[in-house]
Structure 1
Amino acid sequence: MGETSEETQRFKRIAAAAYDYDNDSRWTDYWSNSLIPPSMVSRSDVIDHFKRKFYQRYIDPDLVVETMSVSSSFFQPASQSAPSPPTNDQTQKQSSAKRNSEMLATTDSISNSSRWNRHMVLFSLNAWVLIVALFAMIPMVPRNLSHRAYRLSIMGTACSSLFSLFIKCGMPRAFDMQGLEVYFQAVVATKTFVYFIYSVTFVASNLCLKFALIPIICEAAEQIAKFLRRTFPQSFFYRKWLERPCAWVESNTTTLSLLSSHVEIALGFLLIISLFTWQRNFVQTFMYWQLLKLMYHFPMTAGFHQSAWAKVGRKVNPFVRRFLPFLKPSFSAAQSWWTR
């Protein structure tokens, strides 16, 4: 297990070193706002250290960045032939090196503490969403409490998604058109944005489709399991009660994603059926089918949704060809629009 973790971290460090920082506008802003002594700005090991911290913050939060220590031997003179008492110049250099080391250690400590606090808040939000959503799914819960828990879990998912986007993408570097365009391109490229749109689609709806809570429960369980295994692996409570459930969730992420994709597609057809009831909502149905199309093409969900839609096609197409041949042109036009 330890060897696998070390091998994973080695590949992550290689990926961090190969990342194109020069073409990422966030790196320029991050580097200019870093607290680095002027005497150390040009050192390659300092630059590499802050590049890894940048990569951990914006690209891969699972990358482990060790605290940087400044070796005092870097400031010692090269000649070691004969010991001599330190001069004033050497004493100043050594004291300067010590201050620089303490400053870097303090900066790393503050940064790590702030990042840990943010992830702790996100974990609390996800745990709250998971508990409330599971409560809403219990059949014996009274109807009014169940509906209220349903609303709270949808709203909690929207809040946790927004906070997760803030952790991953931060704030826009500039509030002009170009800066906002770059920022929203980074936001849209995340899976969290998809779940934010998913929760917004249902938060204002009159329908109470508890079926819609299944993808939310799966996503919250995955995020909670990752956080617990990364943060509390040596905790007695975790090892006794939570290690096996977390290990099961992380080893079955593909199954959970497939389940979520099937549920999301089924919800699309349920919304179409609801158009023939008094609870119909044409705007919500249109928005949700646009979201389904986005999920079909989005890289992180495309594989699961394409697999699920292929199963739907294998069931529906023979039925249409046999009993409803006049609908075949309409189905072909819909499929061509869907795959565009």
Structure 2
Amino acid sequence: MGEEGEDPQRLKKIAAAAYDYDNDPRWADYWSNILIPPQMASNSDVVDHYKRKFYQRFIDPSLVVEAISSSSSSQGSRRSAPSSASSTTTSEHVGSRSSGTTAQTSGSSTTNPSSMGIDRQTLLFSINAWVLVVAVLAIFPLIPKNLSSRAYQLTFMGTTLSSLISVYSLYGKPRAWNMQALQAYFQSVIVTEDFMNFIFGLTFLTAPAYFRSALIPVLCHTIVHLAKFLRRNFTRSTLYRRYLEEPCVSVESNISTLGILSSQAEIALGFLILVSLFSRQRNVLLLFMYWQQLKLMYHAPATGGYHRSVWAKIGQTILPLVHCYAPFLNGLLSAAQRWWFR
């Protein structure tokens, strides 16, 4: 009974952690109005706490946010007192040797996770750089058809691989391989942007027809990832400052624009697949899978804001025309809306 009661809150906390706060302008205003000491503002636990409070206020009021506990700091002070007392009773030689060994072990323990993180990020950067190159080859109109088709497949292969690596590095693997554990795992992962990119890449990698417009969301996501990586790791490079700093700054300042462009391309692609049912390239399974993915993108916190804004504009344009010139479609639209919001 206790685990069943905690599962919804655990999933809500995972969704709150996966929410894209950087692309939500309300988060910047919310964080700027919080008055806390600078040493607390640099603490990741404190930032995560206020992110959960922001998520509770603006996204999901049912999320339970616990207060920040000071037990860790008190435990740290209690641990330091006995160690300092014991160090004064030992000899100077032993104390210096023990302090050297502890410093060495602590240094090694702190550098290993960071080096692993850098290796993972570097791997993702390399794959995304490769995806950018082959995506440009696939979308450029003057490239020979055979090379363009091969680049198209390699683009979605790289997108699928990088998204899968990102999902695994952030969420690991399921705790067990039974149905209950797999269901809990996928419920926590399915709302993340990386998992949706994985499904997107896998869908068009295995699709029998080529849709060049599907490369636009891939390019948007790849450019944003590359710009963020370069800004974090190459700010001291002369080559970066001379040639890449302005494009990277421009990309980071227009992340919302790229998100809207990606959402528009994804929604337009859904209608293109729908229209393709009247051609020789019809694929009912692809239509069903992709519109299920569009529905997920609409409701997921990471992409829902962009998709809802695009769908709102489409509704403001299309619905009056349907009511005026094609009222017989009202029943079909009502059924589609019931399925969409279910």
Q: Distance in 2 between matches of 1:107 and 1:11?
A: 20
Match of 1:75 among 84, 90, 108: 84
Q: Deviations over 1:251-276 (max 9, x none)?
A: 00110011111111111111011111
Q: Distance in 2 between matches of 1:242 and 1:168?
A: 28
TM-score by length of 2: 0.75
1:293 partner amino acid = K
Give 1:131-280 correspondences, 5 Å limit.
Answer: 131-280=133-282
Q: Distance in 1 between matches of 2:40 and 2:75?
A: 23
Which structure 2 residue ranges, 5 or more long, are not aligned? 1-31, 33-37, 53-70
Query: 1:320 maps to which residue?
Result: 322
2:328 partner amino acid = F
CA-atom RMSD, angstroms?
3.0
Query: 2:47 maps to which residue?
Result: 15
Q: Distance in 1 between matches of 2:321 and 2:180?
A: 50
- After the TM superposition, which of the residue ranges 273-282 and 181-190 deviates more from structure 2? 181-190
Query: 2:64 maps to which residue?
Result: none
Match of 1:284 among 276, 286, 308: 286
TM-score by length of 1: 0.76
CA contact (8 A) 1:75 1:94 kept: no
Aligned-partner SS, 1:218: helix
Aligned-partner SS, 2:42: helix
1:199 partner amino acid = G
Q: Distance in 1 between matches of 2:137 and 2:304?
A: 30
Query: 1:116 maps to which residue?
Result: 118
Query: 1:126 maps to which residue?
Result: 128
Q: Distance in 1 between matches of 2:176 and 2:268?
A: 41
Query: Post-superposition shift, 1:175?
Result: 4.0
Query: Post-superposition shift, 1:16?
Result: 4.5
Q: Deviations over 1:48-102 (max 9, x none)?
A: 8xxxxxxxxxxxxxxxxxxxxx999953579xxxxxxx86556445433332221
Q: Distance in 2 between matches of 1:72 and 1:97?
A: 15
Query: 1:293 maps to which residue?
Result: 295
Query: 2:305 maps to which residue?
Result: 303
Bigger RCO (CA 8 Å, 6+ sep): 2
Which structure 1 residue ranges, 5 or more long, are not aligned? 21-42, 49-69, 79-85
Query: Post-superposition shift, 1:187?
Result: 2.1
2:106 partner amino acid = L
Aligned-partner SS, 1:202: helix
Query: 1:40 maps to which residue?
Result: none
Aligned-partner SS, 1:337: helix
Q: Distance in 1 between matches of 2:103 and 2:183?
A: 38
Aligned-partner SS, 1:280: coil
Q: Distance in 2 between matches of 1:89 and 1:178?
A: 57
Q: Distance in 1 between matches of 2:321 and 2:43?
A: 49
CA contact (8 A) 1:72 1:94 kept: no
Aligned-partner SS, 1:275: helix
CA contact (8 A) 2:191 2:296 kept: no
Alpha-carbon distance change, 183 to 311 in structure 1, aligned in 2, over 3 angstroms: same
Alpha-carbon distance change, 320 to 179 in structure 1, aligned in 2, over 3 angstroms: closer
Alpha-carbon distance change, 18 to 279 in structure 1, aligned in 2, over 3 angstroms: closer
Fraction of identical pairs, as percent = 43
Query: Post-superposition shift, 1:142?
Result: 0.9
Query: 2:332 maps to which residue?
Result: 330
Q: Distance in 2 between matches of 1:218 and 1:294?
A: 19
Larger Rg: 1
Alpha-carbon distance change, 174 to 101 in structure 1, aligned in 2, over 3 angstroms: farther
2:125 partner amino acid = F
Q: Distance in 2 between matches of 1:145 and 1:202?
A: 17
Structure with the largest fraction of helix: 2
Query: 1:24 maps to which residue?
Result: none
CA contact (8 A) 1:75 1:97 kept: no
1:165 partner amino acid = V
2:318 partner amino acid = V
- After the TM superposition, which of the residue ranges 208-217 and 180-189 deviates more from structure 2? 180-189
